[in-house]
């Protein structure tokens, strides 16, 4: 049986696979006098779906950019599967896929042409493009220019790109914000199926608290650049809302309380 590149990596790097997909320690970032991230620490465990949450300006995007090697930390450390994304080798990012409505592709090329370019860059396995197109229901759009697509269609194409190389960690920035409810639900189902089949680890930001309750094993809330809550949606709801007997997660109420009052 022919193994995919991701499968070969997992077989050959058993010790690395035991590392946390994401380990953040005392992470800080300052832009001049502005403190965007202030001593953030958290881990994402193998196979876990973790929501990195918080109001606008909480430090989520800056944290993601440091994880992906786009922005260098002022202090602290980031490790992806035990590797430093800022070491200049890009080795830490080979097992990572990233999708965001703002991470666009070449507007002049068709969806299929864009995916062929990225499949070559990622050294994606044979058949990866067709699988990604079918998974994200893009077959009817494959020949369309990326620049002619709606924002929701571009978002789906970007997610297809992120899945091409069978990543072990998927980092998603507002993955369903521009999708209609039907496509958003299908997209969540696709992600959940992949996660269960491959043990995929997912880290994502979202302002859709109903989606967070459905998808997340654990949430980390940021406020003014600091972690103010970390736990399962139910655990965080009970602590932030001060109700130990709460039976169901209430992420919408938690979000509003943290956004307006911070957290004790």
Instruction: Look at the alpha carbons of 108, 110, 115, 116 in this order and tell me if their dihedral is positive or negative.
Output: negative
Q: Mean pLDDT for the chain?
A: 89
Q: Which pLDDT score is estimated for 11?
A: 39
The encoded tokens of residue 261 equal 């009052």
The per-residue pLDDT for range 168-185, each reduced to its tens digit, is: 999 999 888 888 898 889
8 Å CB contact between 53 and 60: yes
Does residue 17 have a pLDDT over 50?
no
Does residue 16 have a pLDDT over 50?
no
The per-residue pLDDT for range 22-48, each reduced to its tens digit, is: 999 999 999 999 999 999 999 999 999
**What pTM was computed for the model?**
0.88
Nearest to 57 by CA among 29, 85, 37: 37
Cα–Cα dist 128/134, whole Å: 10
The per-residue pLDDT for range 65-77, each reduced to its tens digit, is: 999 999 999 999 9
Domains identified in the chain and CATH numbers: 22-91+206-264 (3.40.50.300)
Does residue 262 have a pLDDT over 70?
yes
Instruction: Look at the alpha carbons of 111, 4, 92, 215 in this order and tell me if their dihedral is positive or negative.
Output: positive
The per-residue pLDDT for range 102-144, each reduced to its tens digit, is: 878 999 999 999 999 999 998 898 899 999 999 999 999 999 9
The encoded tokens of residue 98 equal 């990233």
Does residue 61 have a pLDDT over 70?
yes
8 Å CB contact between 62 and 221: no
């Amino acid at each position: 049986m022919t193994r995919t590149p991701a499968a070969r990596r997992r077989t050959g790097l058993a010790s690395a696979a035991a590392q946390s997909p994401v380990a953040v320690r005392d992470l800080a970032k300052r832009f001049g006098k502005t403190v965007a991230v202030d001593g953030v620490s958290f881990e994402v465990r193998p196979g876990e779906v973790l929501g990195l949450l918080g109001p606008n300006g909480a430090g989520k995007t800056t944290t993601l950019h440091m994880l992906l090697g786009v922005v260098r930390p002022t202090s602290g450390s980031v490790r992806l599967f035990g590797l430093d994304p800022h070491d200049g080798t890009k080795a830490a990012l080979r097992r990572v896929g990233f999708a965001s409505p703002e991470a666009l592709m070449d507007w002049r090329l068709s969806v299929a042409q864009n995916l062929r370019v990225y499949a070559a860059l990622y050294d994606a396995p044979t058949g990866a493009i067709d699988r990604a197109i079918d998974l994200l229901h893009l077959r009817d759009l494959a020949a369309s220019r990326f620049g002619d697509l709606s924002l929701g269609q571009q978002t789906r194409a970007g997610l297809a790109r992120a899945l091409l190389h069978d990543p072990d960690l998927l980092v998603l920035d507002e993955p369903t914000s521009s999708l209609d409810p039907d496509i958003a639900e299908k997209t969540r189902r696709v992600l959940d199926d992949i996660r269960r089949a491959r043990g995929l680890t997912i880290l994502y930001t979202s302002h859709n608290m109903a989606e967070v309750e459905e998808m997340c094993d654990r949430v980390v809330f940021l406020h003014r650049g600091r972690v103010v809550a970390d736990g399962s949606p139910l655990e965080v709801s009970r602590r932030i809302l001060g109700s130990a007997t709460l039976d169901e997660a209430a992420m919408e109420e938690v979000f509003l309380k943290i956004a307006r009052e911070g957290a004790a």
